[in-house]
C-alpha cells in the first residue's frame, strides 16, 4: 500500500479523513437518551435538555438504544400518569442496568422520595432546577444514595438555555432529495432539521388554582420568560429550518413582562423571515386577546386559524366547584365570537367527566353545550383525585363505570364533530406543511387549521418541511387524503 505524505493529500481526501475522525469521536462520546411523558410543554423542555447535553459533549440517542444517562421527563396530572412514570423508569433500568437514570419534571416535584426508591434511579430533579440537570450529573455519579434536588419554586421571570443542535444531531438519518418543489421550499442556506414544528415555551406555572389541578403545586405559580431570551430561541429555531412555532406554557394568555404580553410575542414571531406559521397550543378562555381573532382572519398573517380553549364542564354548578373563571354562557359567547370572526377556524377543547358529585343532569348540560358549539374535537379526561388539591377532599366520588360511560359518549361526539369539520373541506385546496413519511411510504402533514392530511400518492420525493397547496379529496378515519395541486 502506498502512503501519501500530508502535502499530497487532495482536498477530498482531507475531508474524508476529517469525517472519519468526527464519526469516531461521535462513537466515543457518552450517550444520553430521553423519555418524555405528558404535555407539549414537556416535549419542548426535553428538546432544550437535549441541546444542553449536546453542549456538554453527549451524543443523543433514541430511548431504545443503550445509553450512559437516561433522562425521564415526567407528568403527574393523573394517577395513571404516575403509574406510567414508574413503569417507564423500571423499563429503562431493565434496558440500561448500568446507566445513570435521572428523573425530572412534575412527578419529580410532587413525589421525589417515591421516585428515589425505584431501583436504578440516581438523580431526581424538581421543577425549579430541571433545566440545569447537567450541573448535578457528576455529584449523582459519586453519591452513595440517589440525589434529590428540589428547591422551592420561585416566581421570578426565567430564561431557558438557547443552544444550537450540533451538526451531527441535525444530519442524523438524512433523506436524499430526488425532487424538490419550488413553492415555499427552504432556502439553500437553511439547516436541515428533524422536526418541522417546534414549541417555544414562554410561560410556566399557574395562579388560577382550579380545585382539581395539581399543576400549581408541580410547576409553581405563574411566571414568565424574559422576552429577549424567547426572541433568541425563536430566531435560532427558524435558522435551523423550523417552519412552524407553537407557543406553549401552562397558561400562556397571562404572559406579561413589562408592557409586553402574548400579543407582542406573536407580533415578534410574525416578523421572522423564514417562519411560515405561528400556532398557540392551548389558552384559557378568559385570557384570549381579541386582536388575535383579527390576526387569524388576515391571510397574510402567520398566526394560523386554530384555538384550543379548555371547557372542562358545561354545567355552571360544576364549573363553580372546579373554581373555573367563567360560566357556560361566557364560554359559549367566546367560542361563537371566534368562530364568526375567523373563517375556517378549528376549535378544540378539553372536557372532564366524573367530577365529584357530577349528576346526570349536569353531565347532560355538558353534552348539550358541546353538541351546540362549533367545536372541531374534544380531549376527554376522567376526573382523577390528586392528593393536595381541594377536589381530593370532596365526597360523592363517581364509580369508574359511570365515568367510563360518560367519556365514551363524549368521545363518540368528538369523532362525529371532527368528521363533519373535515367534510366541509372536501374538494378544497389548502396548504399543507409536510412533516414525516409514514411506514407505508406516504407523507403526512397538517393544514393551518390542523387537519391531518396524508398525501394520496407515493413517489421517491422527500416532501419533509415543504409547504404547498393540496387538494383535499377524501376522508379516511380521522385524517384526509390529498393530492398535490400546483
Give 127-163 pLDDT, tens digit per residue. 999 999 999 999 999 999 999 999 999 999 999 989 8
Does residue 353 lie in a domain region? yes
- Flag whether 159 is in a domain: no
- 481 - beta bridge partners? 454, 474
Does the structure show a pLDDT above 50 at 460? yes
pLDDT digits (tens, 9 = 90+) for 345-392: 999 999 999 999 999 999 999 999 999 999 999 999 999 999 999 999
Residue 157 lies in a domain: no
In this structure, are 362 and 237 located in the same domain?
yes
In a domain, 383, yes or no: yes
Sign of CA dihedral 48, 51, 53, 55: negative
Q: Specify whether 252 is located in the same domain as 393.
A: yes
pLDDT of residue 459: 73
User: Is there a single domain that holds both residue 194 and residue 78?
Assistant: no
Cβ–Cβ under 8 Å, residues 306 and 448: yes
CATH of the domain at 296: 3.80.30.20
Q: What is the mean pLDDT of residues 413-418?
A: 98
Beta strands in 238-289 (DSSP E): 244-248, 256-257, 260-261, 277-280
Q: Among residues 149, 175, 193, which one ends one of the domains? A: 149
- Mean pLDDT over 215-243 rounds to 96
Cα–Cα distances in Å, from 447 out to 29, 195, 453, 481? 40, 16, 7, 12
pLDDT in the model for residue 194: 54
Helices (H), 211-350: 215-218, 227-239, 262-270, 291-297, 316-322, 328-341
In this structure, the number of other CB atoms found within 10 A of the CB of residue 310 comes to 18
Nearest residue to 389 via CA among 241, 250, 212, 190: 212
**Which range is least confidently modeled, 34-48, 185-199, 275-289, 295-309?**
185-199
Same domain, 323 and 455: no
Tell whether 378 is covered by a domain: yes
- Do 240 and 194 have their domain in common? yes
pLDDT at 5 over 70: no
Looking at the structure, do residues 402 and 438 belong to the same domain, yes or no? no
pLDDT at position 188 is: 27
Cβ neighbours, 10 Å, residue 250: 24
Strands (E), 38-155: 59-60, 69-74, 100-105, 121-125, 147-149
Spatial distance between the Cα atoms of 378 and 179, rounded to a whole number of angstroms:
38
pLDDT in tens, 271-280: 999 999 999 9
Fill in the DSSP letter of residue 391.
Answer: G
> How would residue 24 be classed by pLDDT, with cut points 50, 70 and 90?
very low
Residues 115 and 186 in one domain: no
Q: Is residue 323 part of a domain?
A: yes
Residues 278 and 351 grouped into a single domain: yes
**169 pLDDT more than 50:** no
Q: Provide the greatest CA pair distance for the chain.
A: 88
Mean pLDDT, the chain, integer: 88
Q: What percent of the chain has pLDDT over 90?
A: 80
Q: From CA 90, how far away is CA 93, in angstroms rounded?
A: 5
Q: Judge whether residue 34 has pLDDT over 90.
A: yes
Judgement on whether residues 87 and 174 belong to the same structural domain of the protein: no
209: left (phi over 0), alpha (psi -120 to 50) or beta: left
206 and 322 belong to one structural domain: yes
Domain assignment present for residue 388? The answer is yes
Please check the confidence at residue 395 and state whether its pLDDT lies above 60.
Answer: yes
44-48: long-range contacts, CB 8 A cutoff, minimum separation 24: 44/198, 44/199, 44/200, 44/201, 44/248, 45/73, 45/105, 45/130, 45/131, 45/201, 46/71, 46/73, 47/198, 47/199, 48/131, 48/160, 48/161, 48/163, 48/201
The stretch 430-452 carries a mean pLDDT of: 90
Residue 393 has pLDDT above 90, yes or no: yes
**306 pLDDT more than 90:** yes
pLDDT above 70: percentage of residues in the chain: 88
CATH number at 440 reads 2.40.50.140
Domain CATH number, residue 79: 3.40.50.2300
Inform me whether the pLDDT recorded for 11 exceeds 60: no
Domain that holds residue 33: 23-149
C-alpha cell recorded at residue 299: 391571510
> Residue 16 has what pLDDT?
38
Is residue 28 very low, low, confident or very high in pLDDT (cuts 50, 70, 90)?
Answer: low
Length of the chain: 486
How sure is the predictor about 64, in pLDDT bands with cuts at 50, 70 and 90?
confident
Question: Shortest CA distance to 196 belongs to which of 459, 485, 481, 437?
Answer: 437
- 147-149 and 100-105 strand pairing: unpaired
Which residue, chain included where needed, has cell 348540560? 365
Domain boundary among 387, 406, 423: 423
In the listed set 383, 402, 423, which residue is the last one of a domain according to the structure?
423
Residue 15 within a domain: no
> Domain count of the chain?
3
Q: Is the CB of residue 71 less than 8 Å from the CB of residue 98? A: no
Same domain, 385 and 453: no
And the C-alpha cell for 478? 380521522
Lowest mean pLDDT among 22-26, 41-45, 237-241, 460-464: 22-26
- 26 pLDDT band, cuts 50/70/90, is low
Q: What is the pLDDT of residues 96-124, one digit of tens each?
A: 999 999 999 999 999 999 999 999 999 99
- Does one domain contain both 263 and 345? yes
Amino acid at each position: 500500500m502506498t502512503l501519501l505524505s500530508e502535502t499530497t493529500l487532495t482536498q477530498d481526501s482531507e475531508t474524508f479523513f476529517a469525517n472519519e475522525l468526527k464519526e469516531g469521536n461521535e462513537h466515543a462520546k457518552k450517550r444520553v437518551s430521553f423519555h418524555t411523558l405528558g404535555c407539549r410543554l414537556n416535549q419542548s423542555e426535553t428538546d432544550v435538555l437535549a441541546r444542553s447535553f449536546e453542549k456538554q459533549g453527549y451524543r443523543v440517542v433514541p430511548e431504545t438504544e443503550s445509553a450512559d444517562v437516561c433522562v425521564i421527563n415526567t407528568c403527574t396530572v393523573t394517577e395513571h400518569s404516575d403509574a406510567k412514570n414508574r413503569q417507564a423508569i423500571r423499563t429503562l433500568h431493565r434496558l440500561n442496568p448500568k446507566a445513570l437514570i435521572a428523573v425530572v419534571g412534575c412527578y419529580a416535584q410532587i413525589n421525589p422520595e417515591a421516585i428515589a426508591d425505584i431501583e436504578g434511579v440516581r438523580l431526581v430533579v424538581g421543577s425549579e432546577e430541571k433545566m440545569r440537570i447537567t450541573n448535578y450529573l457528576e455529584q449523582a455519579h459519586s453519591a452513595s444514595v440517589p440525589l434529590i434536588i428540589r428547591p422551592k419554586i420561585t416566581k421570578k421571570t426565567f430564561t431557558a438555555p438557547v443552544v444550537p443542535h450540533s451538526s451531527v444531531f441535525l444530519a442524523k438519518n438524512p433523506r436524499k432529495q430526488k425532487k424538490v418543489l419550488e413553492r415555499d421550499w427552504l432556502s439553500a442556506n437553511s439547516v436541515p432539521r428533524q422536526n418541522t414544528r417546534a414549541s417555544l415555551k414562554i410561560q410556566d406555572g399557574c395562579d388560577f388554582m382550579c380545585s382539581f389541578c395539581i399543576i400549581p403545586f408541580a410547576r409553581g405559580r405563574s411566571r414568565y420568560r424574559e422576552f429577549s431570551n424567547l426572541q433568541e430561541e425563536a430566531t435560532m429555531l427558524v435558522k435551523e429550518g423550523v417552519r412552524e412555532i407553537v407557543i406553549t406554557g401552562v397558561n400562556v394568555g397571562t404572559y406579561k413582562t413589562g408592557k409586553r404580553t402574548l400579543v407582542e410575542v406573536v407580533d415578534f414571531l410574525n416578523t421572522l423571515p423564514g417562519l411560515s406559521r405561528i400556532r398557540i397550543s392551548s389558552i384559557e378562555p378568559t385570557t384570549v386577546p381579541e386582536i388575535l381573532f383579527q390576526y387569524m382572519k388576515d391571510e397574510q398573517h402567520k398566526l394560523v386559524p386554530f384555538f384550543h380553549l379548555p371547557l372542562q364542564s358545561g354545567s355552571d354548578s360544576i364549573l363553580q366547584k372546579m373554581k373555573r373563571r367563567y360560566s357556560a354562557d361566557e364560554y359559549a359567547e367566546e367560542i361563537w365570537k371566534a368562530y364568526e370572526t375567523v373563517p375556517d377556524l378549528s376549535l378544540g377543547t378539553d372536557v372532564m367527566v366524573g367530577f365529584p358529585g357530577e349528576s346526570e343532569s349536569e353531565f347532560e348540560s355538558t353534552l348539550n353545550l358541546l353538541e351546540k358549539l362549533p367545536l372541531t374535537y374534544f380531549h376527554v379526561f376522567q376526573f382523577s383525585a390528586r392528593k393536595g388539591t381541594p377536589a381530593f377532599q370532596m365526597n360523592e366520588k363517581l364509580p369508574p363505570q359511570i365515568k367510563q360511560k360518560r367519556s365514551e359518549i363524549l368521545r363518540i361526539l368528538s369523532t362525529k364533530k371532527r368528521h363533519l369539520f373535515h367534510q366541509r373541506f372536501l374538494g378544497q385546496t389548502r396548504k399543507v406543511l409536510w412533516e414525516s413519511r409514514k411506514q407505508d411510504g406516504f407523507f403526512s402533514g397538517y393544514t393551518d387549521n390542523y387537519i391531518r392530511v396524508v398525501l394520496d400518492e407515493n413517489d421517491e420525493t422527500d416532501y419533509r418541511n415543504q409547504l404547498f397547496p393540496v387538494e383535499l379529496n377524501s376522508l379516511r378515519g380521522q385524517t384526509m387524503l390529498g393530492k398535490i395541486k400546483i
